[in-house]
Amino acid sequence: MKIYKFGGASVKDADGVRNVTEIIKSQRSDHCLLVVSAMGKMTNAFEEVVHAYCFNTSKLTSAMDKIVKYHQTIIDELFTEEHIIFKKFDGLLQDLWVFLNHNKEEKMYDFSYDQIVCYGELLSTTILHYYLNLQGINTVWNDVRTLVKTDSSFRDAKVNWEQTEVAISKKINSERLNIVQGFLGGDTKGNTTTLGREGSDYTAGIFAYCLNANQVTIWKDVRGVLNGDPKVFSKTQLLEQISYEETIEMAFYGASVVHPKTIQPLQSKNIPLFVRSFLDPSLTGTEVHRGVSIQPKIPCFIVKKNQILVSISTRDFSFMVEDNISHVFQLLHQYLLAVNLIQNSAISFSVCIDNKFNQFEAFYEELKSSYKVEVTKGVDLYTIRHFDRAAVTNIRSLGTSILTQVNKETMQIVIKI
Ligand code: ASP
Ligand code: MG
């Protein structure tokens, strides 16, 4: 059995749906499970609905309108008037309105978020299912919330692997062409949960693991896994093969290759992962598997922009030792600051951090009361895997390098422009 994952960009409009249909037609389409994300940027649009619902109900109707119009345009183009999809579409929207109007639970943000954004995937899979069938490709539509069983940590649900394995092996007919929603799960109380943004890759990994699939393909709008983000680096090259370990390393340093949680379930059952282009399916793309770490062996570049570099030393000229460092980490953890680089010397301790939750100022105030603190804002953290001299010169030429850290395969450079 094979697992195909189609992300939002692949089904962003009617042509996208037609293109995905062509890909499925051209591959042998039975013994397959399709994992599909919400269309285009619809999850962001649903986030606006959640926001309006929780904080500003006057914006609710217009936020919903945007979603309705987007999907309406697509189905108007794909189906003729009397097709059942129009009824199904109205039905799903009505279900969502029922939640919005009658939810008795308090408007708890994370809970509401999952009950609302799930409609992105429910709509996309419903539309694709009916379109494939219209094109003569029979598919079995499944509600993934009855298959991927999770705890109730809304927006970041943890998979219960035992229950999930049982549900999937019981309900999925591996001889057919199945279609499921990415990103979603269900808890034991019947609530919808989600696995974290961009979680559909992970869904593909979960199904591959539970079905002992012989391969997973993630269809993307790039040629495969590249040695840098093409939106940031001008000359990127394709990586033809990479190992599971290398992929995890790259994801760890911040490359948006595939969702980081996807790899481990595949690695544990030695299931190869292909990353291919839905724009040009004739290309072979990248294969992630056990074995050769990276082919061709070229430097890979990862950047995290707009970081804060903080250097901390004691006020009394004593060394930065275990208890100071553990205190600093406690504060970092308390203020939800993600640490992307650590450097320690006898008298100072530096960290490069991401201020994702805007809690830096509070952290700084508290830190300042115990230590001497130097802060450089607006720096970029470049990571080069498999660095060579040319790659380092290239990155250093972008600005002033204010900190460098090297280990065997990885160099990290903090650059101030
Ligand atoms: N639709 C979800 C998101 O945009 C899940 C995914 O695309 O993987 O985060
Ligand atoms: Mg998406």
Per-residue pLDDT reduced to its tens digit, 236-272 = 999 999 999 999 999 888 888 888 899 999 999 999 9
Q: Which residue puts its alpha carbon closest to atom 6 of ligand 1?
A: 198
Q: Are strands 349-354 and 300-314 parallel, antiparallel or unpaired?
A: antiparallel
CA of 204 to the centre of ligand 1 (A): 12
Residues recorded for the chain? 417
Atom of ligand 1 nearest to the CA of 41: 4
> Is 243 a member of any domain?
no
How many CB atoms lie under 10 A from the CB of residue 79? 18
**What residues are neighbours of ligand 2 (ion), with CB under 5 Å?**
8, 37, 43
- E-only strand ranges, 239-331: 241-243, 273-277, 286-289, 294-295, 300-314
Ligand 2 center–CA 94 separation, angstroms: 22
- Which token pair is 327? 């205190």
Ligand 1, atom nearest to 201 Cα: 8
CA of 40 to the centre of ligand 2 (A): 7
- Asked which of 181, 213, 245 is the last residue of a domain, the reply is 213
In short, whether 120's Cβ falls inside 6 Å of ligand 1 is yes
Regarding whether 192 and 319 lie in a shared domain, the answer is no
For ligand 2, the distance from its centroid to the CA atom of residue 38, given in whole angstroms, is: 5
Q: Do residue 307 and residue 189 come from a single domain?
A: no
Q: Is the CB of 41 under 6 A from ligand 1?
A: no
- Order of all β-strands in the sheet with 300-314: 338-344, 349-354, 300-314, 371-385, 410-416, 400-406
Strands (E), 134-253: 140-141, 177-181, 184-186, 192-194, 215-220, 241-243
Please tell me the distance from the alpha carbon of residue 278 to that of residue 391, in angstroms, as a whole number.
30
Q: Domain of 145: which CATH number?
A: 3.40.1160.10
Which parts of 255-309 fold into alpha helices (H)? 263-268
| 373, 311 contact by CB (below 8 A) | yes
CA distance 164 to 206: 9
Per DSSP bridges, beta strands 177-181 and 32-36 are parallel
The angle that helices 60-78 and 14-26 make with each other, rounded to 10 degrees, is 50
Instruction: Specify the residue for token string 């999907």.
Output: 71
Tell me whether residue 124 is in a domain.
yes
Low-confidence ranges of the chain (pLDDT < 70): 104-106
Cβ–Cβ < 8 Å for 32, 3: yes
Q: Burial of 238 by CB count in 10 Å (0-12 exposed, 13-18 middle, 19+ buried)?
A: middle
The DSSP bridge partners found for residue 277 are 220
C-beta of 186 in contact with ligand 1 (< 6 A): no
Distance 201 CA to ligand 1 centre (A): 9
Residues 111 and 209 in one domain: yes
Question: What pLDDT score was predicted for residue 30?
Answer: 86
Cβ–ligand 1 distance for 381 under 6 Å, the answer no
- Report the Cα 285 to chain-centroid distance in Å: 20
- Residue 345's pLDDT is what? 84
Tell me, yes or no, whether 189 lies in a domain. yes
User: Is the distance from the beta carbon of residue 40 to the nearest atom of ligand 1 less than 6 Å?
Assistant: no
Say what the pTM is. Answer: 0.90
Give the integer Cα–Cα distance in Å for 308 and 325: 18
Residue 103, token pair as written in the block: 């939810």
Check which CATH number belongs to the domain holding 366 and give it.
3.30.2130.10
By residue range, what is the domain housing residue 406? 300-416
pLDDT per position as a tens digit, 4-37: 999 999 999 999 999 999 999 998 778 999 999 9
For 257-415, where are the alpha helices, taking DSSP H only? 263-268, 322-334, 360-368, 389-396
Whether residues 344 and 203 share a domain: the answer is no
* Alpha helix (H) residue ranges in 221-289: 244-252, 263-268
Is the residue at 293 inside a domain? no
Q: Are residues 93 and 208 in the same domain?
A: yes
**Which of the listed residues 188, 213, 238 is the one where a domain comes to its end?**
213
Domain assignment present for residue 270? The answer is no
Same domain as 63, residue 195: yes
Q: Candidates 197, 258, 278: which one to mutate for ligand 1, based on the most atoms within 8 Å of Cβ? A: 197
Domain boundary among 213, 239, 274: 213
Domain assignment of residue 245, yes or no: no
In the 8-state DSSP scheme, what is residue 64?
A: H
- Same domain for 15 and 150, yes or no, is yes
Give the per-residue pLDDT at 104: 67
Nearest residue CA, atom 5 of ligand 1? 198
- Is the residue at 275 inside a domain? no
Task: Report pLDDT for 105.
Answer: 66
Q: Is 241 in the pocket of ligand 1 (CB under 6 A)?
A: no
Residues 44 and 187 placed together within one structural domain of the fold? yes
Within-domain flag for 240: no
Tally the domains of the chain: 2
